Amino acid sequence: MKHYDYIFFDLDGTITQSEFGIIRSARHALLKMNIDTSGESDKDMQKFIGPPLHHSFSVFYGMSDEDADKAVKLYREYYEVEGIFDAPLFEGMEEVVKTLSSKGKKLYVVTSKPQVSAKRIIEYFHLDDYFTAVIGPDKSEKSPNKKQLIERAVAENEIDDLRTVIMIGDRKYDIEGANGAKVDSVGVLYGYGNLEELTEAGATYIVENPLDILAVIG
């Protein structure tokens, strides 16, 4: 087993089961943009979990840059009031975080969600004592890149040896970002990706449940 000192966690789909608030907020924004999503199941709408919002509205619904900006604003107006905490922790995640922290690991959240929102969520679930920092984009960034966010976390925390860093996430964006930043990764199957996606992205390890993370890192 390799030794990892710095553990980077994705947020949505890795720490929190965030589909509920995200899907409701996406449907709200699309309705306001006169796009009917009644024919799309909640499973279909899980496509919003992982990629940056601006990207999702542009790619999935063919919006112009201007319309995607409007949709993101509508999404956030709803999400920050109605949806932000509608995202329970995955069962076992609190134990994972506490255990790793107790072993002296340095834990970070590295997410494409705006940093201010991610911090509110970590504080809401009383996990802020276990995380050294939350790294995410500011709201003006339209398409935050996971590779760049990982590299920012490494630089801001003056981490010298990339071999001691590992990124944990549920989607290809997390794994591809880790590979691009030259750090190892854990793909988790309990989130919103799947085995094929995580394998093709090149995950160093793949686990089924939150507690399995401890077998890889602990």
Q: Which residues are catalytic?
A: 10
Contact between residue 164 and residue 4 where contact means Cβ atoms under 8 Å apart: yes
Query: Which contiguous run of DSSP H or E holds residue 184?
Result: strand 184-188
Distance, first Cα to last Cα, the chain: 9
Residues β-bridged to residue 7: 107, 166
162 exposed, middle or buried (CB, 10 Å; 0-12, 13-18, 19+)? Answer: middle
CA distance 19 to 197: 18
Residues sharing a CB contact under 8 Å with residue 3, sequence separation 6 or more, in sequence order: 164
